[in-house]
Amino acid sequence: MSAELTATSGAAVFGATSTTDDVLDGMDLRGMRVLVTGVSAGLGVETARALAARGAQVVGAARDLAKAQVATEVVRDAAANGGGLTLIELDLASLASIRAATDALHAQSDLFDVVIANAGVMASPFGHTRDGFETQFGTNHLGHFLFVNRIASLIRNGGRFISVASSGHRYANVDLDDPHFERTEYEPFVAYGRSKTANILFAVEFDRRHRARGVRAAALHPGGIKTELGRHVGQERLDGILTQINEELAGQGKPPFEWKTIPQGAATSVWAGFVANADEIGGRYLENCHVTTRITDGYISAISEGVRPYALDADNAKALWMKSEELVGESF
User: Annotated catalytic sites, by residue?
Assistant: 192
Please list the residues that pair with 285 across neighbouring strands.
219
- DSSP labels, 182-238: SSS---HHHHHHHHHHHHHHHHHHHHHHHGGGT-EEEEEE--SB-SGGGGGS-HHHH
User: CB count, 10 Å around CB of 213?
Assistant: 11
Please list the residues that pair with 260 across neighbouring strands.
225
How far from 120 is each of 38, 53, 141, 144, 177, CA to CA, in Å?
Answer: 7, 24, 9, 9, 23
First-residue to last-residue Cα distance in the chain: 24
What's phi and psi for 221, nearest 5 deg? Answer: -105, 120
Whether 47 contacts 20, CB under 8 Å: yes
Residue 177 to residue 34: CA distance in whole angstroms: 35
